[in-house]
Amino acid sequence: VLAVIALAPDKGYWMIFLFGILAAHTLKVLPKQTWAAKSVATFVPLIGLVLVYLVDYKPYGILQYCITFFIFLFFLYGNTIWGLLKTPAAKLLGTMSYSIYLVHGIVLYVILKGVDIIHPVALLSPIAFWSIMLVSALIIILISGLTYRYIEYPFLKKYKAKLADKVM
């Protein structure tokens, strides 16, 4: 993996995988970090989220990856942002996350291309742009919910039933 990253012309995407591998390894080497799950520790990843956008903003900056890595570790060690990540809405989004991952690019492409025909996206005001993003997010969640329920879930159900038959 390191050789591929070193030789790749665009190291950005590969660095994301490298930091993911590093997080998994860190969790394996240092499995019990209960301090990171404490309520007061939530301020650290929240400050980190702010720092990611304040420091040398580049699409694939190593400093952003380092900060994001440490933020991610807090969540791996059980920090729930004062319980926010345990809410039914967060759990539902987590359940649909693969569908969201598959659908979001297509929906954003279609919506932004459609908007660009009417008015150039690059010239939108911040309020107009983020309003479009909010509507896009709602559409993505709606479509992802449907694709999860009617495509992904039936396959998962069959797979779990097949696993259960093998165990018996």
d(CA 13, CA 115) in angstroms, rounded, equals 28
Q: Report the mean per-residue pLDDT for the chain.
A: 89
Distance CA 127, CA 131 (A): 6
- pLDDT for 121-146, tens place per residue? 999 999 999 999 999 999 999 999 99
- In this structure, what DSSP letter does residue 60 have? T
Q: How far is CA 41 from CA 38, 73, 75, 94, 135, in A?
A: 5, 12, 11, 23, 33
Look at residue 106 and tell me whether its pLDDT is greater than 90.
yes
**Residue 40 per-residue DSSP state:** G
Q: What is the pTM of this model?
A: 0.73
DSSP state of 58: -
pLDDT band at 32, cuts 50/70/90?
A: confident
